[in-house]
Structure 1
Amino acid sequence: MDSSVAPDGQNSSMNNPNPGNTRASGLSRWRIGAFALPAAPIAAMGLPIVVYLPPFYAGEMGLGLAVVGAIFMITRFWDVFTDPVLGVLSDRFKTRWGRRRHWIVISVPIMLVSVYMLFMPTAPVSASYLLWWMVIAYIGWTLLTISHMSWGAELTPDYNERSTIQGFREVALIAGMILVLLVPVFIEAMQPDNVAAARVASMGWYVLILLPITVAIAVWVVPERKVKDPVHVPWREAISILIRNQPLRRVLLADLLGGISGGIVTALFLFLAADVLQLQFASLLILVYLTSGCIFVPIMVRLSHHWGKHRTLAYSSLFSAATIPFIFLIEPGDMLFAVLVWILLGINMGAGPFLFRSIMADVADHDHVEGGNQRTGLFYSLLTMTNKLGAALAIGIAYPILDIVGFVPGTENTPSAELGLLLVYVLPPALIGVLVAWVMWSFPIDEARQSENRRILSERDAVAEGAGGTQGASVAPLGRSAD
């Protein structure tokens, strides 16, 4: 096995003659890739819930738009509520295998059962059936997602390697979305009797097959770094520390803004492509966009090593602000130019997500220094919560404006209504890109500050070791002994 992280927190690969093979965490690239694998079914679960399940249950399952809309709204608020609860739970309880992997394993059967029930129902179904299994699915999905992100943050203390790890995870996420979009294409080509049911079922089987395989590989071959046992902090003091944490406030604000921007373009994309740009193959634009993002994530990771994470995030936000207005230049029906524009937009699509997650790992270390406790799961739950709130706010902002300008989906709209949709699609994300760059430009935790935080934590760990602790070592992969 690769060497573990040194107890004093220093880079164990400093004397390695082949530093490209063994990272600061002691993890080779193939192990980092193994860690990232579960992100593919995580993404494959999220996309159908947003795009395919609502119309399937409203139409094929006979529940109607109003009932399905209400259920999905209720479960989305439930998901936001459970984020911090499951984040704290993920932080609090450890086992012999570490702090995160057992939660990931526990989430798998919850996910498998709920995916089977949601994606392969037997008609007719009741509203309570859909509500119950959506709630269960969100519990498993949230526990899996938060634990996986937190595990990635704790795999290494190194500033730049955290970007590499989260970049690998982002590539797996995007690849998972691409593959789950392609699955229905092959199913539809087979011309089944019930296309809608076969399409949804195929996506369910994608998750059912891929999730246990990828989780098994990740938890078996990738070790955890040991962290200090959680210390009980009175809740008033814990909340006070969070409120005083200025880097945390900045990241959450920027992520909330990013969620609003992403939510606007997601909610309005089909309206823009079909009703304004009059493009016949809108799904092709999605695939082009995702593929471009997948290709350019490694480049963004390298740029973050050169410029620093917060500056790279600021530059990428400015790039988004500068490129999205190119949509104004697309003539109706011009698919070729539209593809070129979405390739350009896709260059940046993966940068924000992996950089936010990498930065949040440093913020969690900063909180550990200030508050004496490691609350990575809580911090990542707050990050997912702000992004979801941003996406929810986006619909609440965009749809009423469309109503004001008189835009009606699926009909022939007036030129002023179409211009109104274009302005809503382009201007808020462009403005938000500038705001995010402003918020993150002077972010206080750079590589030097992170190194100092790790030095402080390493000294504390050394004191704990002297008192009989075992901090800083590596927890072995499941079924193996530590190196």
Structure 2
Amino acid sequence: MTAVRNTSSNARFFRLGAIYLPVTAAAQPVAAWLPAIYSRDFGLSLALVGTLYLAGQLLNSVLDPVVGALSDRTRSRFGRRRPWIAGGGVLFLGGGALLFFPSDGAGTAWLLAGLAAYYTGLSLISTPLLAWSGEVAAGYHDRTRAASTFTLLQSVALVAALGLAAIAQKVQPGDGRLQLTLFGALVVASAVPALWLTLTTREEPASIAFDGAVLRTPLSPRAALQSILCNSLLLRVLASDAAVRAGQGIRTALLLFYVTFYLGRPEWAAGLFLFQYAFGMLSAPIWQRIGVKLGKRDAAILAEVLQSLINLGLVLTTPERFWLVLVLAFAQGLTQGSGNIMLRSMVADVADKHRADTGEERAGLYYSVFGLADKIGGALAAGIALPLIAWFGFDPQSATNAPQALNGLLLVFALGPALAHAISAAAISGFSLDAQQHDAIRRHLDTAADPALQPAE
């Protein structure tokens, strides 16, 4: 059987994913630095800041499926996804400018406006972009290459943001305004050219006949929910992704406590993040090759098993074995995002199968619930890990913690992600859509006489 040929170039994927540079460069500072800076330097209470952040994230979560479903049905001379990404880019840039360049009297209204524009912009960018990537990269392995390219861009942006944070701390320790200015300069300077590159990405000539698939997609919450809950392949991907994000979230939430209190090396609190993510830039091309060689499901299983073993190894770390911490951080970097790459590209394959079976276009909707799975996984991480270490008696406000509390912190930090990654591997092990089956689906979509089953873009 002749396979569908993968013809999209890596340069095309870099161009399409360029917007990930400013989006990722903003994400880490917004999540990790802004709450403390707005509370300390602008006099807003942490409770108020937390409430505004929660409102912004809820807005983002509600908008994701709405934007995904509407972008599936959008028809314009610029395509289905471009108008949403363009509008989202403008809102993201405006929100970023407000958040990173606050006026001297910035208060609640300023932060609220910045977060609303920022999170709305993210919703308008993220889901349509992922759906569009599945249309630009129509081939099975093309999608693995696209997802790995996006992961590489995100790693580069993350390292750049962490590097700026380190520079600011070195030049002027504790200067929140300097940190905001450096973060904002990176985001604003990269946002305009990145958005232009993404929006001007060339694609295959669209088939006018494909409008039939758009028109046949019911704009009904009940029909949308049914298309999700009745799709066993999609549910496996969502469950696996939520578990991955839970494992990553536990590690992220507890890393500062682990380094500062268990290892007794507070000077490495930011450095270990930077160390891991620097090597993480190597992981995307490595796992792209593995995904092409093994196929997405087997590569995802391998990635999650390896990450589970790496996290189990953390049980053996002690303050005296800091070399082992660095070795495991290096290994963690080389497997960073490996499972996410495969799972992200699987969503487009599942959407192709659904379109071939039903004539309905659901790529935007499916990527929106994939984003929700990310958020659920992150929420589970914080909701489980933090109360659990508190139950062991760990108190970050205490100058000293009992050995039992520190050992409990280590166990949650190590075993929580290990278990989550193992669950992810188990969930995706039953995913049955492989390269051969997808090639047959693509041939059907490309050649079917029914106009509703023509290529997406």
Query: Normalised by the size of structure 1, how large is the TM-score?
Result: 0.88
Instruction: Quote how far apart the aligned CAs of 1:133 are.
Output: 2.1
Q: Which amino acid aligns with 1:427?
A: L
What corresponds to 1:355 in structure 2?
A: 342
What corresponds to 1:56 in structure 2?
A: 37
Instruction: Quote how far apart the aligned CAs of 1:225 are.
Output: 5.7
In structure 2, the CA distance between the partners of 1:425 and 1:473, relative to structure 1 (3 Å rule), is closer
Say which of 258, 279, 282 aligns to 2:269. Answer: 282
Q: Secondary structure at the match of 2:360?
A: coil
What corresponds to 1:28 in structure 2?
A: 9
Determine whether 1:202 maps to 2:182: yes
1:144-293 alignment, distance < 5 Å: 144-191=125-172, 195-223=175-203, 226=206, 228-229=210-211, 230-231=214-215, 232-233=217-218, 235=220, 236-279=222-265, 280-293=267-280
Alpha-carbon distance between aligned partners in 2 of 1:77 and 1:160, rounded to the nearest angstrom: 34
Instruction: Quote how far apart the aligned CAs of 1:381 are.
Output: 0.9
What corresponds to 2:426 in structure 1?
A: 438
Alpha-carbon distance between aligned partners in 2 of 1:268 and 1:210, rounded to the nearest angstrom: 31
Deviations 1:53-88 (A, max 9, x none): 110111111111111122212222222111111111
Alpha-carbon distance between aligned partners in 2 of 1:299 and 1:267, rounded to the nearest angstrom: 27
Alpha-carbon distance between aligned partners in 1 of 2:320 and 2:34, rounded to the nearest angstrom: 29
Mean CA deviation greater in 42-51 or 230-239: 230-239
Alpha-carbon distance between aligned partners in 2 of 1:10 and 1:322, rounded to the nearest angstrom: 35
Q: Secondary structure at the match of 1:157?
A: coil
In structure 2, the CA distance between the partners of 1:180 and 1:271, relative to structure 1 (3 Å rule), is same
Q: Secondary structure at the match of 2:200?
A: helix
Does the 8 Å CA contact 1:261/1:429 hold for their aligned counterparts? yes
Alpha-carbon distance between aligned partners in 1 of 2:318 and 2:309, rounded to the nearest angstrom: 19
Alpha-carbon distance between aligned partners in 2 of 1:320 and 1:301, rounded to the nearest angstrom: 17
Does the 8 Å CA contact 2:300/2:342 hold for their aligned counterparts? yes
Q: Secondary structure at the match of 1:223?
A: coil
Say which of 85, 88, 98 aligns to 2:66. Answer: 85
Structure 1, unaligned runs of 5 or more: 1-8, 15-23, 475-483
Alpha-carbon distance between aligned partners in 2 of 1:215 and 1:307, rounded to the nearest angstrom: 34
Determine whether 1:320 maps to 2:276: no
Mean CA deviation greater in 86-95 or 268-277: 86-95
Alpha-carbon distance between aligned partners in 2 of 1:48 and 1:368, rounded to the nearest angstrom: 39
Q: Secondary structure at the match of 2:361?
A: coil
Alpha-carbon distance between aligned partners in 1 of 2:30 and 2:337, rounded to the nearest angstrom: 21
* Aligned alpha-carbon RMSD (Å): 2.2
What corresponds to 1:478 in structure 2?
A: none
Q: Which amino acid aligns with 2:35?
A: P
Say which of 30, 36, 50 aligns to 1:69. Answer: 50
Alpha-carbon distance between aligned partners in 2 of 1:275 and 1:42, rounded to the nearest angstrom: 32
1:115-154 alignment, distance < 5 Å: 115-154=96-135
Q: Greater helix percent: which structure?
A: 2
Alpha-carbon distance between aligned partners in 1 of 2:304 and 2:322, rounded to the nearest angstrom: 26
Does the 8 Å CA contact 1:156/1:225 hold for their aligned counterparts? no
Q: Secondary structure at the match of 1:145?
A: helix
Report how many residues are paired: 448
Determine whether 1:427 maps to 2:435: no
Q: Which amino acid aligns with 1:431?
A: L
Does the 8 Å CA contact 1:42/1:145 hold for their aligned counterparts? no
Structure 2, unaligned runs of 5 or more: none
Query: Normalised by the size of structure 2, how large is the TM-score?
Result: 0.93
Deviations 1:300-330 (A, max 9, x none): 1111111110111011111111111222222
Alpha-carbon distance between aligned partners in 1 of 2:21 and 2:326, rounded to the nearest angstrom: 25
Does the 8 Å CA contact 2:10/2:145 hold for their aligned counterparts? no
Alpha-carbon distance between aligned partners in 2 of 1:145 and 1:49, rounded to the nearest angstrom: 16
What corresponds to 1:97 in structure 2?
A: 78
1:298-377 alignment, distance < 5 Å: 298-332=285-319, 334-377=321-364
Alpha-carbon distance between aligned partners in 1 of 2:440 and 2:368, rounded to the nearest angstrom: 25
Alpha-carbon distance between aligned partners in 1 of 2:369 and 2:183, rounded to the nearest angstrom: 29
Alpha-carbon distance between aligned partners in 2 of 1:443 and 1:44, rounded to the nearest angstrom: 33
Instruction: Quote how far apart the aligned CAs of 1:189 are.
Output: 4.4
What corresponds to 2:445 in structure 1?
A: 457
In structure 2, the CA distance between the partners of 1:333 and 1:177, relative to structure 1 (3 Å rule), is farther
Does the 8 Å CA contact 2:135/2:456 hold for their aligned counterparts? no
Q: Which amino acid aligns with 1:397?
A: I
Instruction: Quote how far apart the aligned CAs of 1:264 are.
Output: 0.9
Alpha-carbon distance between aligned partners in 1 of 2:322 and 2:225, rounded to the nearest angstrom: 51
Q: Secondary structure at the match of 1:382?
A: helix
What corresponds to 1:378 in structure 2?
A: 365
What corresponds to 1:387 in structure 2?
A: 374
Q: Secondary structure at the match of 1:242?
A: helix
Instruction: Quote how far apart the aligned CAs of 1:200 are.
Output: 1.3
Deviations 1:136-178 (A, max 9, x none): 2101012111122111111122111110011111100111100
Alpha-carbon distance between aligned partners in 1 of 2:276 and 2:175, rounded to the nearest angstrom: 26
Alpha-carbon distance between aligned partners in 2 of 1:223 and 1:107, rounded to the nearest angstrom: 20
Q: Which amino acid aligns with 1:356?
A: L
Q: Secondary structure at the match of 1:316?
A: helix
